[in-house]
A and B are shown apart, each in its own frame.
Chain A
Amino acid sequence: GESVGLHLPTLSVQEGDNSIINCAYSNSASDYFIWYKQESGKGPQFIIDIRSNMDKRQGQRVTVLLNKTVKHLSLQIAATQPGDSAVYFCAETDNNNDMRFGAGTRLTVKP
């Protein structure tokens, strides 16, 4: 069936480096994509979203790239900080409105 998945379950980066978290999806009808950050003991926190009519969107220190051709989504975090350590989820939905989440990538930032 359709699914959303992540390439890597863990990612470790040095403080100050850039981080890239990847996500693959299989539903070609998906038209809305979101990245969430979840810290221990908290609910997911919205980071950034993108609709299928765009291929790039930038926020504060974060950029989401969408490649519909290969059904790939990535989250780039610039100048990664210790406070960025968390689990990052991608999520996608289509007109059926069934929001699907990836398994999550644990980002660890080393000082």
Chain B
Amino acid sequence: KAGVTQTPRYLIKTRGQQVTLSCSPISGHRSVSWYQQTPGQGLQFLFEYFSETQRNKGNFPGRFSGRQFSNSRSEMNVSTLELGDSALYLCASSPDYAYEQYFGPGTRLTVT
């Protein structure tokens, strides 16, 4: 079974731009969660989607948004990028939320 894939793997953007990251979950997994990982804050939960609906949301500003498609693939968008948005963005999929999550390799976003 193929693992979780994320594209792109690396991205460089400038302040004020927006970015869209993509995640393809493991086949059959309906829950997709997004996390931000930084050296200073560690792993922080962004949001979770299940069957195209956002079920849970972490404590991030409205500039961070996401969506899930009918095939469970998910995208997250960050608008008006700030330097502090530089981070590794991780996507994880699971059959449902409170089950073991399988992480993708992440997208390394650098904002200059």
Contact = CB atoms under 8 A, between A and B. Distances in A.
Given A42-B105, A44-B43, A98 B100 contact: no
A31 B99 CA distance: 11
Given A96-B56, A98-B45, A46 B105 contact: no
B90 A99 contact: no
Nearest to B101: A46
In which size bucket is the chain B interface? Answer: 20 to 34
A89 B98 CA distance: 16
Contact of B55 (A46, A49, A97): A97
B42 A97 contact: no
B101 A34 contact: yes
B33 A99 contact: yes
Nearest to A89: B43
A93 B43 contact: no
Interface in A34-66: 34, 36, 41-46, 49
Interface of B: 4, 33, 35, 42-45, 48, 55-56, 58, 90, 92, 97-106
